[in-house]
């Protein structure tokens, strides 16, 4: 039996989503990873969703566990040499700063009782929290309700496009502004809170400066969906009721921010659990 000499083993940190972003000390290692994955120069050293997708594709093509985490096996396959990711080199539990609040992403994701939702939350929760910080939403109760809403409406990214065809929205000019043939399916519900209708897509195109009218599928991009979710709830864009209007001693009335009283108690219970872990 032959063994690899210790001097021949390459030591690198384990990498995962948000390294090089929340953990800038790993930027050079993420650049090495992106180079090995074939990213064109210059590599940015930020382990975002594009890098995670590339890692998962590489893992799939090489018979590895498709978890998006670059550990011993993935590093070794990429670099074609034995790589060891020592526990002392692994990233600390990821956190994100929202104003004066340090929020532990792992703790938030672990609190979700459904494994399939947790898988999507690993990607979406940091993006939503970052948008909360960018948009000045720093009240923990409001953040908890935003997360609860995204979990209820889209399973935190699992359902970024509604299942129905959208033809039921065809010709709905008054509320949705669907005034052209095919607008129903073209502007069906998408995103963390199911943006629907030509009128609403047009409004958000203006607010974001992103052409989601010509490219409505872009609403499913997590970064864009997070902007619509957080800014819409903060501004009261969905029903003219905002986070400041309804987040008080309990979460039941907050459902009016999105959709009247539909499943208000269920979503309030989800928000209560998020608030505990926040």
> Which residues lie across from 190 on neighbouring strands?
161, 195
Pick the CATH number of 9-89 from 3.30.565.10, 1.10.1060.10, 3.30.750.24, 1.10.101.10: 1.10.101.10
pLDDT at 132: 96
9 vs 199 pLDDT, higher one: 199
- The CATH code of the domain at 93-278 is 1.10.530.10
Stretch 189-204: mean pLDDT: 97
Does residue 144 contact residue 275 with C-beta atoms inside 8 Å? yes
Does residue 147 contact residue 111 with C-beta atoms inside 8 Å? no
232 vs 24 pLDDT, higher one: 232
Q: Is 137 left (phi over 0), alpha (psi -120 to 50) or beta?
A: beta
pLDDT in tens, 251-267: 999 999 998 888 999 99
Stretch 56-67: mean pLDDT: 91
pLDDT in tens, 156-190: 999 999 999 999 999 999 999 999 999 999 999 99
| Tokens linked to 145 | 């309700």
pLDDT at 192: 97
pTM attached to this predicted model:
0.69
Which helix H or strand E contains 152, and what residues bound it? helix 140-154
Which helix H or strand E contains 203, and what residues bound it? helix 198-208
pLDDT at 248: 74
**What is residue 66's DSSP assignment?**
-
pLDDT tier, 10 (very low <50, low <70, confident <90, very high otherwise): confident
Share above pLDDT 70 across residues of the chain, in percent, rounded to a whole number: 94
Stretch 95-116: mean pLDDT: 90
Query: What residue spans define the domains of the chain?
Result: 9-89, 93-278
pLDDT at 92: 53
pLDDT in tens, 200-236: 999 999 999 999 999 999 999 999 999 999 999 999 9
- Which of 71-75, 89-93, 176-180, 219-223 is predicted with the least confidence, judged by mean pLDDT? 89-93
């Amino acid at each position: 039996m032959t063994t690899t000499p210790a001097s021949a083993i390459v030591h690198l940190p384990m990498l995962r989503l948000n390294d090089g972003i929340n953990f800038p000390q790993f930027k050079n290692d993420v650049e090495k990873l992106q180079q090995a994955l074939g990213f064109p120069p210059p590599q940015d050293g930020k382990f975002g969703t594009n890098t995670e997708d590339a890692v998962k594709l590489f893992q799939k093509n090489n018979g590895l566990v498709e978890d998006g985490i670059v550990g011993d096996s993935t590093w070794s396959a990429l670099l074609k040499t034995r790589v060891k990711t020592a526990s002392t080199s692994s990233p600390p539990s990821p956190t994100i700063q929202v104003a004066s609040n340090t929020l532990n992403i792992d703790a938030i994701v672990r609190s979700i009782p459904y494994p399939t939702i947790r898988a999507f939350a690993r990607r979406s929760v940091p993006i939503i929290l970052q948008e909360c910080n960018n948009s000045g939403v720093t009240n923990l109760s409001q953040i908890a309700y935003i997360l609860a809403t995204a979990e209820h409406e889209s399973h935190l990214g699992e359902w970024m496009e509604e299942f129905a065809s959208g033809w039921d929205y065809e010709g709905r000019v008054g509320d949705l502004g669907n005034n052209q043939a095919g607008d129903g399916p073209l502007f069906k519900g998408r995103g963390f809170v199911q943006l629907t209708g030509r009128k609403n897509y047009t409004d958000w195109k203006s607010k974001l400066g992103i052409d989601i009218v010509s490219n409505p599928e872009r609403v499913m991009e997590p970064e864009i969906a997070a902007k619509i979710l957080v800014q819409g709830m903060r501004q009261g864009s969905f029903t003219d009721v905002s986070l400041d209007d309804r987040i008080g001693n309990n979460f039941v009335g907050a459902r009016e921010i999105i959709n009247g009283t539909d499943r208000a108690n269920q979503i309030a219970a989800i928000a209560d659990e998020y608030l505990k872990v926040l």
